[in-house]
Amino acid sequence: MVNFFELAAPGVRGLTPYQPGKPIGELERELGLSNIVKLASNENPLGPSPKALEAALAASKEVELYPDGGGFELKAALSERLGVAAERITLGNGSSDVLEFAARVFVTPDNEVMFSQHSFALYPIFTQTLGAQAVATPASRWGNDLDAMRRAVTPRTRLIFIANPNNPTGTWLGSAALESFIRDLPREVLVVVDEAYFEYASHPAMGAADYPDTMAWVERYPNLIVARTFSKCYGLAGLRVGYSVSHPEVADLMNRVRPPFNVSSVALAAARAALEDEAHLRRSLELNAQGMQQLVAAFAERGLAYIPSVGNFVCVDMGRPAAPLYDALLRQGVIVRPVGNYGMPNHLRVTVGTPEQNAVFLRALDAVLAA
Ligand SMILES: *Cc1c(COP(=O)(O)O)cnc(C)c1O
């Protein structure tokens, strides 16, 4: 028998698979429950714009044809919306796709890739797969510590991932601090600012007054790559569309490693329609702002500390190991996210749901805390 483990690339042997939020269907099968509430993967509880669904349905009638591999129409719509040239845009099968392209283009086994402690789990996976050295800098008050990152840069540093706001902690970096960090970096160090929760964080009700407008920076900093997605606020996680905005040469390189049809025709059509439905986006943002208030007020009432968040999720400190509470919540039909694998064994990450879903979660929480 071949020892496949021995055959695997060295970086791959050391990987632990990404742990996604538990799917509703799996919990239904395991516990025979129905009416399950899933607040585990930062999905939009309103779902996508009905116009996006209509566009997806129309596009589904031509699925025998390959999609437009260049994504011309979606790029044109994004270009207009964001005020950046289409040649700066790279489309991904979700934004995790473009994060990986950035790593594959620039990172060799001689390089270091930097990111913060308590940050997105895909960064070390992409790094180690390439055989490069992952450098996790210590967090400051649960967020990216830019001073610690600055100090950790070496001649081998090639790429830095910064999630803003950060997942799973919801912390954010303000404009002045982030821009001066990027300005001071050697130009050979690429910075990926991962803005999966951009729409939430830039909504005034979330209170991140100095949240950066990085689109204005891409012309100034050729080593900056900004990544965004349709998975979160646009409610299209299941269709997989994301994109990055960068220097055109960086985009050209990323497009060389991109599989030609990485974004499906259905996804391209839905994303373009979603972009146009500003009323739906506004409803999603308002629902999130209210739901966040509902959750944090309830945590405060219960004496539970939480990490202030500008995303559509919040980490609550249970003051004891959270894994058993996660399991107990599952038995109540509520799926949240344990974050022990992010170095946060006492926290649970809860996605903001509808007012009803939030109430179901809070009732379940009270039940498990009283047990
Ligand atoms: C959800 C998320 C993404 C993107 O997910 P896709 O579905 O691949 O677009 C990227 N970064 C962070 C930090 C996220 O939380």
Looking at residue 21, what is its pLDDT? 87
Whether residues 242 and 95 fall in one domain: yes
Burial class, 269, CB count within 10 angstroms (exposed 0-12 / middle 13-18 / buried 19+): buried
Whether residues 110 and 221 fall in one domain: yes
Question: Model confidence over 224-240: pLDDT tens digits?
Answer: 999 999 999 999 999 99
**Confidence at 17, pLDDT banded by 50, 70, 90:** confident
Task: Please state the rounded mean pLDDT for residues 342-349.
Answer: 97
Residue after which a domain boundary falls, among 258, 277, 296: 277
CATH number of the domain where residue 98 is located: 3.40.640.10
**Confidence at 314, pLDDT banded by 50, 70, 90:** very high
Residue 14 covered by a domain: no
Degrees to nearest 5, angle at CA 120 with 365 and 21: 40
Residue 11 covered by a domain: no
Whether residues 25 and 55 fall in one domain: no
Whether residues 95 and 139 fall in one domain: yes
Task: Please state the rounded mean pLDDT for residues 182-209.
Answer: 96
Tokens of 45: 């509880």
Mean pLDDT of the chain: 97
Question: Which domain range does residue 196 map to?
Answer: 50-277
CATH number of the domain where residue 329 is located: 3.90.1150.10
pTM score, whole prediction: 0.96
Distance 225 CA to ligand 1 centre (A): 15
Question: Model confidence over 104-120: pLDDT tens digits?
Answer: 999 999 999 999 999 99
Total domains, the chain: 2
Residue 213 covered by a domain: yes
Which amino acids bring their CB within 6 angstroms of ligand 1? 42, 94-96, 120, 163, 167, 194, 196, 229, 231-232, 237, 242
Residue 12 covered by a domain: no
Whether residues 79 and 164 fall in one domain: yes
Residue after which a domain boundary falls, among 277, 304, 328: 277
Question: Model confidence over 54-112: pLDDT tens digits?
Answer: 999 999 999 999 999 999 999 999 999 999 999 999 999 999 999 999 999 999 999 99
Task: Please state the rounded mean pLDDT for residues 182-188.
Answer: 97
Looking at residue 346, what is its pLDDT? 98
Q: Is the pLDDT at 1 greater than 90, yes or no?
A: no
Whether residues 118 and 199 fall in one domain: yes
Distance 364 CA to ligand 1 centre (A): 28
Whether residues 213 and 169 fall in one domain: yes
Task: Please state the rounded mean pLDDT for residues 266-284.
Answer: 98
Looking at residue 371, what is its pLDDT? 85
Pocket test residue of 90, 101, 116, 232 for ligand 1, highest count of atoms within 8 A of CB: 232
